[in-house]
Each structure stands twice: as structure tokens, then as C-alpha cells.
Amino acid sequence: MDERPSELRASLGFTRAEDVSPDEERPGLLRARTLPFGVDPVEAFDFRSCLLNDGADPQTSEPGLEEAGFETIDLSGNARLQQALATVRDEDRVSEAAARALRESLNGARFRLANGRGLRIEHVADEGMIQRRAGPNGLNVNPGGMDGSNGHDAARTVHADQDVFGTPLKQLMSGAAPGLFRHQTPDGRNDDSSLLLLNLWIPIQQITRPLVLMDRRSMDPKRHQLRYALPVTRFLDRDEERSVNDIWTFLPDPAQVWYFRSVMDPAQGYVFDTLGEPHGACMLPGEEALERLYLGLHRACEAVAAADAHALAAAAAEPPPALPEVTTQAIRDAWQRMTALLQEAGPRAAEICAAGAEWTARARAAMDGVVRKSVEMRLVARLTSE
């Protein structure tokens, strides 16, 4: 397939074939081996180059929630939600007060889907409110690590968040979840219920490390969808019986179709099926250059703080990293802003070090702008006729 400007390739992380075996609990299904917490994704997963369709491009027609498992929804009209998201942006974390405001703004909210049906949010779960901060090209921008709901990096590998037959749903609902929620699994489905268990993913800002979602119609569940036991006690307060989440991981296949958005802000969000929609984050072409510019600006800001004009000039003198031929316009714009700041600092090093608050503020804003920040939460929602 020839690449259009709205399409590009990025590496997505899948389960390795050698980590897959027949599932003994549910014959006919496959299971992936549980990996140790903190394992290096590059070594532990099978990263494949996948063609991504950019939903932000007018030429791209995104599929819908009921058919493909995910959909972009318009959040701009919910003023209470936008106010709560502005608080998260300003505080750069989800406080208990902000989490409460987010839930209150969404409980009972209604949205229209692309197929004309409505989506009414019945309940926002107490568990599962997560803030993520992800630097370009995997750069660690959470030096303190995870702190409850905050400080989570982007998920590097393709997964789906919950098996409708597994923990914790089977304990919380005494095994009633498959009959209550609409779902598709490799060994069953419920197309009759109007009740959905969904994730809502909202970007505070995003030009790097985007969320990537598969059109689930392009997947063969019996061959590609794998049961996986995810230990969660490091980031969720759970008892021993619910110390793992039964989720799904996936094997790659060339027929799988992937979507992302090259730029998003809080006016839009993704809703997607918690019970089986494959998704993950990727590093886009050009993020390596943004990482190097981020680190260069960081060194420059440190030099200004130390009033070291020589160090500032040295940081500014480094040749700018080249961008690949195929990348997004948002990454090109960020590259231009960051490069221009460093080029400006070279001849003005002494001046900036003497009174550089304004330049430093612009540099830190440019650095912050290439960090993906997002909030996600778990919803119970109902499909309506309007």
C-alpha cells in the first residue's frame, strides 16, 4: 500500500510467539506468559512496524464504536468537564478533588455517536482514574515514578483492559458480567445488551506518544487474542483474590488496521471497549529528534540557572537533529519551535544568562509541549436510540 500524507508507520509492541501456549482453563483459547513487573519492553515484546491511519486528517474516515470497538467523541460542549480538565492541566496531576469533579461532570452525560445512536454515561468507576505523562521517544518525565493515580508512563504494548469472564469482574459481579455487558471474546459474545463497559481516554495535550487503536474487525480473535494475568497490586489497592487483572494481549498480523490522531486536545476523547479493544501507545517517526531537542533545551535552561554563558552557548551550538522524511505536521512544528529557541540562545548567551527569565519560560513551554499528558477512566455507559 502506498503511504498517503495521513498515514505513517510506527512500531507497536505485541506478545512474542514463544510466550504463547494453549489455555488450560478455557480450551480453544490461547494464553500469554505473565512477565515480571518492570521488564524492558524492547527485550520482552515483539515490536512490529504497523501502518497507522491518522484520524485527524480529513481524508481518513474513522470507524465507529459498535463496529470497530472505538470512536472519537466531542467533549467540547461539557463545560464542567473542560473546567475539571483545566485544573488537571494546571496542577499537572489528578488530585482527589479533580477526580471527583471529573466524575461529577460525566455521570449522566450524553454523547452522539457517528452512527446516530446516543451514548449515556451511567457511572464513572472509582477505580481506574489514571493520569499519564509520556516523554518523546520514551524519555522518562516521571522521575518520581507512579504515585497512585499519577505519574504513569504511556503503555508501550498492545493490550485490552479486561476479560469479561475474568478477575475482577467475576468477583465484583458474581459471574453476571457476560450477561450484563455487550462484549466480543474469542469464545463468546453478547450483542443484545445496550450496556457497555468503556474506557474514556482524554488528552490534556498530545503530539507525541499517541494512543493507537485497532479496528477489531481486522483481527482474528482465535489466533491473535491472548489471555493474560496482569499483577496490579503495585498501582491498585486490591485484596489477594483480585491481585491480578485478567486482560488480553495480542499477536501481530499484517491484516490488522490501526488508527491514531496526530494531534489531540481536551475537546476530543476516545471511548473504547474495555472488554476487548486492542490499543497501546507508540513512538512516532521524529520523536527521537524531539527527545534530543528536549534534552538540549534542558541543558540550556540549567546553564541559564547557573548564569553560565559558556555552557549555554555550547548547548545551543549542537547541530539540530534531522527529522525523518515522513512524520506529522505537529512534530515538524514542535521541531521548528525548539530548534529556533536554541538558535536564538547561541548569539544571546551572555544576555540570556544575565536576564533570561523570558527565554527560559519559552524554552520550558516548548519542552512541556512535547510531553503527552492524558487522563483515562472507566465508564459504564448505555447505548440509546438518540
State the pLDDT at residue 2: 43
Lookup: cell for 51 = 501502518
Q: In the block, which residue shows the cell 490522531? A: 261
Structural domains counted in the chain:
2
- pLDDT, one tens digit per residue, over 261-312 is 999 999 999 999 999 999 999 999 999 999 999 999 999 999 999 999 999 9
Do 133 and 104 sit in the same domain of this protein? yes
Do both 306 and 159 map to the same domain? no
What is the residue type of 87? T
Q: Are residues 45 and 152 in the same domain?
A: yes
256 & 308 share domain? no
Claim to verify: residue 11 and residue 80 sit in the same structural domain: yes
Q: Are residues 275 and 295 in the same domain?
A: no
Provide the percentage of residues in the chain whose pLDDT is more than 90. 86
- Do residues 220 and 175 both lie within one domain? yes
Which pLDDT score is estimated for 148?
Answer: 83
HSE-CB at 36 with a 13 A cutoff on CA atoms is 4
Answer yes or no: do 70 and 200 share one domain. Answer: yes
Q: What are the phi and psi torsion angles at 54 (to 5°)?
A: -90, 105
Alpha carbon distance 110, 108 (integer Å): 7
| Same domain, residue pair 154 and 29 | yes
Read off the pLDDT of residues 133-169 as tens digits, 9 standing for 90 and up. Answer: 999 999 999 988 888 889 999 998 999 999 999 999 9
Q: Which residue has the cell 499528558?
A: 373
**Three-state SS string across 12-51, please?**
EEECCHHHEEECCCCCCCEEECCCCCCCCHHHHCEEEEEE
Same domain, 272 and 339: no
Compute the CA torsion angle 30, 36, 40, 41 (nearest 10 deg).
20
Q: What is the rounded CA–CA span in Å between residue 147 and residue 199?
A: 21
Mean pLDDT computed over 32-51: 90
**Is the domain of 322 the same as that of 235?**
no
**Domain region containing 44:** 7-282
pTM for the complete prediction? 0.94
Contact between residue 140 and residue 267 where contact means Cβ atoms under 8 Å apart = no
Say how far residue 4 (Cα) sits from the centre of its chain.
Answer: 24
Q: Are residues 183 and 273 in the same domain?
A: yes
Please state the φ and ψ torsions of residue 8, each to the nearest 5 degrees: -155, 170
**Predicted confidence band of residue 65 (pLDDT cuts 50, 70, 90):** very high
- Note the pLDDT of residue 370: 98
